[in-house]
Amino acid sequence: MVATSARRSLDEAVPGLGDRVAAYRAGYLREERRELERALLHGELLGLASTNALELGVDLIGLDAVVICGYPGTRASLWQQAGRAGRSGQEALAVLVARDDPLDTYLVHHPEAVFGAPVEATVLDPANAYVLGPQLACAAAEAPLTAADLELFGDGAKEAVAALVEAGALRQRPTGWYWRHRERPEVDLRGDGGAPVCVVEAATGRLLGTVDGGSAHFLLHPGAVYLHQGASYVVDSLDLDDGCALVHPEEPEWSTHARDVTSLSVVSVRSYLDAGPVGLFLGEVDVTSQVVSYQRRRIATGEVIDTRPLDLPARELRTVAVWFTLSPESLIDAGVAPADVPGALHAAEHAAIGLLPLVATCDRWDIGGLSTAVHPDTEAPTVFVYDGHPGGAGFAERAYGMAASWLGATRDAIAECGCETGCPSCVQSPKCGNGNNPLSKPDAIRVLDVVLANLPQ
Ligand SMILES: [Zn+2]
Ligand SMILES: [Zn+2]
């Protein structure tokens, strides 16, 4: 959409100039990406609207300016993206345009959080079985694993190796563990989104690109509008077993926005902090989510035309979450009426998800949340924030360890936002499954004040 509107504006100023701007993302075909990189490097293209796919690993230097649309989530990404501009010995320009997002709001009010801070420590959980197993398989494929090697892989390596032997991936011999297959292990370096789904033009069989499995339910459901290089397509069918979506060219006057519903149950508690009326927990949870409908919204005005049901399978995720509970009495004492508790917790949840990247190297799209006035597993008003990666990538642990500063920044971001009743810069979320309803901004501040008054600093 950025590329399309840039082209249109350029063509209005200088007819033909619009052709020298293109779009770029990881899901494009490899040849297409190489061609775009080449064209940009040689000046045939003057500008590229890109996702973070251009951040790393692409040989692209010497741009004059970079305009970053929204804080990328981490200082490491911010400097990577800004660093794309600059020829040797010359000045370059990088501009960050803050978007409607609680974290962007916070950074606009606290620039020292960008300029005064080092690049964040990477968060990862090397003991995550979903990470460790494939790592050990790759290591064994390079050279047989010895007992001494296992020490290097830390806690859980012995169990992970035993599981790989059990699964037939490794064979144990007196000299170590050997990879049993001729082919190398298949590991998705991008993460765990599931197998990518191909986007195919039905009439011609042309492969337009791919979308990661996790996003396919949202972006490629039947009826979804899919954009490719500014060209618009509508999805006819999505076959999840074959990993393929069939589309046809069509330029409707609306965009589509999928909605999901989520439920969560606590599997186990790893650690907790009893802080009087407030409880803080870290543990394993099962999250079930299902994309159930989509809205059609008019492109020009954003007006909702209708909401249509979808029939897609539910997806399960075993992961790690951080959650806090408050006693109902403490909420009443703080001036939150019982009827306003759901909106207060929901607003606090959205902002807390938005601010988590401040303490953990993650993107708000890597994180999910759920809030409820009474959760069956905690029997109290509760806000859950969970890691979107199977087994957890370490984000929830970091949030748990830095809860006071994380939730303090969340409270400040809400309080400092200039709006009256809540907006996308504070408590509204672009990925809310409930259409940002109910939400209460003033009550979210009261909730967080109760939590912060009781948590140790
Ligand atoms: Zn606001
Ligand atoms: Zn929500």
Question: Which uninterrupted H or E stretch holds 41?
Answer: helix 30-41
Query: 418 C-alpha vs ligand 1 centroid, how far in Å?
Result: 6
Give the amino acid at 194.
G
- Please report, in angstroms and rounded to a whole number, the separation of the first and last CA atoms in the chain: 44
- Cβ < 5 A residues, ion ligand 2: 432, 434
pLDDT of residue 67: 94
- Cβ < 5 A residues, ion ligand 1: 417, 419, 423, 425-426
Among the bound ligands, the one closest to the CA of 262: 2
In this predicted structure, the answer to whether residue 100 has a pLDDT above a threshold of 90 is: no
In this predicted structure, the answer to whether residue 189 has a pLDDT above a threshold of 70 is: no
Confidence of residue 191 (pLDDT cuts 50, 70, 90): low
Among the bound ligands, the one closest to the CA of 350: 2
Q: What's the rounded Cα separation, in Å, for the pair 126 and 447?
A: 34
Average pLDDT, the chain: 89
pLDDT of residue 235: 97
Query: 346 C-alpha vs ligand 2 centroid, how far in Å?
Result: 6
Q: φ, ψ for residue 93 (rounded to 5)? A: -125, 135
Which residue in this structure is represented by tokens 């010497």? 62
Tokens in use for 84? Answer: 């794309």
Residue 377, C-beta contacts closer than 8 angstroms, at least 6 positions apart: 265, 266
Nearest to 336 by CA among 282, 381, 366, 376: 381
Query: 308 C-alpha vs ligand 2 centroid, how far in Å?
Result: 19
Q: Which residue has the higher pLDDT, 69 or 187?
A: 69
- Contact 308/298 with Cβ under 8 angstroms? no
Confidence of residue 231 (pLDDT cuts 50, 70, 90): confident
- Name the range with the highest mean pLDDT among 100-109, 258-267, 417-426: 258-267
pLDDT of residue 73: 76
Query: 350 C-alpha vs ligand 2 centroid, how far in Å?
Result: 6
Among the bound ligands, the one closest to the CA of 102: 1
pLDDT of residue 330: 97
Confidence of residue 299 (pLDDT cuts 50, 70, 90): confident
Confidence of residue 440 (pLDDT cuts 50, 70, 90): very high
In this predicted structure, the answer to whether residue 123 has a pLDDT above a threshold of 70 is: no
10 Å Cβ neighbour count for 364?
Answer: 22
Confidence of residue 83 (pLDDT cuts 50, 70, 90): confident
Confidence of residue 433 (pLDDT cuts 50, 70, 90): confident
Query: 396 C-alpha vs ligand 2 centroid, how far in Å?
Result: 18
Pairing mode, strands 21-24 and 47-50: parallel
* pLDDT tens track for 370-394: 999 999 999 999 999 999 888 888 8
Among the bound ligands, the one closest to the CA of 106: 1
What separation in angstroms does the CA of 57 have from each of 53, 54, 82, 84, 122? Answer: 9, 8, 15, 12, 18
Angle between helices 102-109 and 403-416 (to 10 degrees): 80
> Looking at the DSSP assignment, which residues form a beta bridge with residue 67?
95
Nearest to 365 by CA among 57, 74, 107, 3: 74
pLDDT of residue 364: 67
Query: 101 C-alpha vs ligand 1 centroid, how far in Å?
Result: 9
> Looking at the DSSP assignment, which residues form a beta bridge with residue 284?
268, 320
Provide the CA 1 distance to its chain's centre, in angstroms. 20
Among the bound ligands, the one closest to the CA of 421: 1
**53: exposed, middle or buried (Cβ count in 10 Å: 0-12, 13-18, 19+):** middle
pLDDT of residue 286: 97
pLDDT of residue 121: 66
Mean pLDDT value across residues 235-262:
92
Query: 285 C-alpha vs ligand 2 centroid, how far in Å?
Result: 18
List, in sequence order, the alpha helices (H) in 46-203. 75-82, 102-109, 112-115, 129-142, 147-152, 157-166
pLDDT of residue 122: 67
Among the bound ligands, the one closest to the CA of 372: 2
* pLDDT tens track for 315-354: 999 999 999 999 999 999 999 999 999 999 999 999 999 8
